[in-house]
Amino acid sequence: MRNVPEPNYEYDIQRLVSVYKRGITGILAELNRLDLTDLQRAQILAALKNISDILRGINDESTQWVNEVIPKAISDGIASTIVALGVADTLEQAQKIVKFNRANKALAEAVIADTQSDLLAVTQNIDRRVRATVRQVAAESMRANYAKGINGRKAISRDILTGLREKLGTSVNTGIIDAAGRRWKPEVYVDMLVRTKTMSAHLDATINEAVAREAYYGRISSHGATDACRNYEGKIVKLVPDAPGDYPYIGDLRGGRDIFHPNCKHTVTPTRLPDGI
Ligand SMILES: [Zn+2]
């Protein structure tokens, strides 16, 4: 059985993450520019408009990214299967004969739609939190302005200003809460999300192509993992549940905590004969 190089989307992932980082820096700059000692409605509206523009820019770039990188991950999965099964000798040759079969066309469509909507949820979340926090901070700043006369002060106290600034910053930087209730910085969440989506698209494409070529087994890759994945490195799995032989079915391993977890780098090299490995 041949080993094919593990997919690596580091460059693409960093490119997308930097879009979010730049956007968030821009949003923070807009929020920092607000004069909290004398917050005017027009100023708030202008800032929120600029923030919306920044978020729309992020959405446009994410859409392009997903349309380009997800099909590439699927195509890579198909190409590496073609090499693993000996249909082509090199990945370059394999890339030339890659064709998306029906299952892989459907896969591409589903993963693109899914990733788009997950990424859209990130910017929607930032938008909602920033708006709510700006409103809250505006109300607090106004109250503090009324109250300052009571103490004979001329301005809002430094403590209050610092607290309001912090609130604005936090609204952007801890805005994502996942299904398990964990808080994420948006760029860390996006990194995890697209890393997981590209790897899982690659794996699904591999399985689809392998099964279409009547290869029903695969070997899990090895890179010296130290987490729970280490127990699975080099192991043979079934790609379809009813293939003969006493091997775990890959579908039962996925989505669990042990292997093929978020951020997991493991792949599968397909083979027709589990004994021939
Ligand atoms: Zn792993």
Domain ranges of the chain: 10-213, 216-277
Q: Cα(265) to centroid of ligand 1, in Å?
A: 5
With b for 16 or more beta-carbon neighbours within 10 A and e for fewer, the 42-77 pattern comes to eebeebbeebeebbeebbebbeebbeebbbbbbbbb
Q: Is the pLDDT of residue 237 over 60?
A: yes
Contact 10, 271 (CB under 8 A): no
* Eight-state DSSP code of residue 249: B
Neighbours of 211 (CB within 10 A): 17
Name the amino acid, one letter, at 166: E
Q: Cα(45) to centroid of ligand 1, in Å?
A: 46
Q: Cα(259) to centroid of ligand 1, in Å?
A: 5
Lowest-confidence range among 14-23, 130-139, 154-163?
154-163
Count of alpha carbons within 13 angstroms of residue 253, beta-carbon side:
26
Name the amino acid, one letter, at 150: I
Q: Cα(237) to centroid of ligand 1, in Å?
A: 14
Tell me the two tokens of residue 232.
Answer: 């699975």
Q: Cα(229) to centroid of ligand 1, in Å?
A: 5
Q: Is 214 left (phi over 0), alpha (psi -120 to 50) or beta?
A: left
pLDDT, tens digit (0-9, with 9 covering 90-100), for 102-133: 999 999 999 999 999 999 999 999 999 999 99
Residues with CB under 5 A from ligand 1 (ion): 229, 264, 266
Contact 30, 130 (CB under 8 A): no
DSSP 3-state assignment of 33? helix
Q: Cα(93) to centroid of ligand 1, in Å?
A: 28
Q: Cα(4) to centroid of ligand 1, in Å?
A: 17
pLDDT, tens digit (0-9, with 9 covering 90-100), for 170-210: 888 876 777 788 888 999 999 999 999 999 999 999 999 99
Tell me the two tokens of residue 237.
Answer: 């799995």
**Predicted pLDDT at 218:** 95
Q: Cα(28) to centroid of ligand 1, in Å?
A: 35
Q: Cα(100) to centroid of ligand 1, in Å?
A: 26
Nearest Cα to 12, choosing from 80, 101, 72, 60?
Answer: 72
Q: Cα(228) to centroid of ligand 1, in Å?
A: 8
Contact 210, 239 (CB under 8 A): yes
> Cα dihedral angle (211, 214, 220, 223), rounded to 10 degrees?
-100
**Phi, psi (deg, nearest 5) at residue 197:** -65, -40
pLDDT, tens digit (0-9, with 9 covering 90-100), for 16-55: 999 999 999 999 999 999 998 888 899 999 999 999 999 9
Q: Cα(208) to centroid of ligand 1, in Å?
A: 20
**Predicted pLDDT at 194:** 97
Q: Where are the alpha helices (DSSP H) in the chain?
A: 10-33, 41-84, 91-97, 102-147, 158-173, 186-212, 250-253
According to the 3-state scheme, what is the secondary structure of 40-68? CHHHHHHHHHHHHHHHHHHHHHHHHHHHH
Lowest-confidence range among 9-13, 26-30, 49-53, 223-227?
223-227
Contact 88, 97 (CB under 8 A): yes
Neighbours of 130 (CB within 10 A): 23
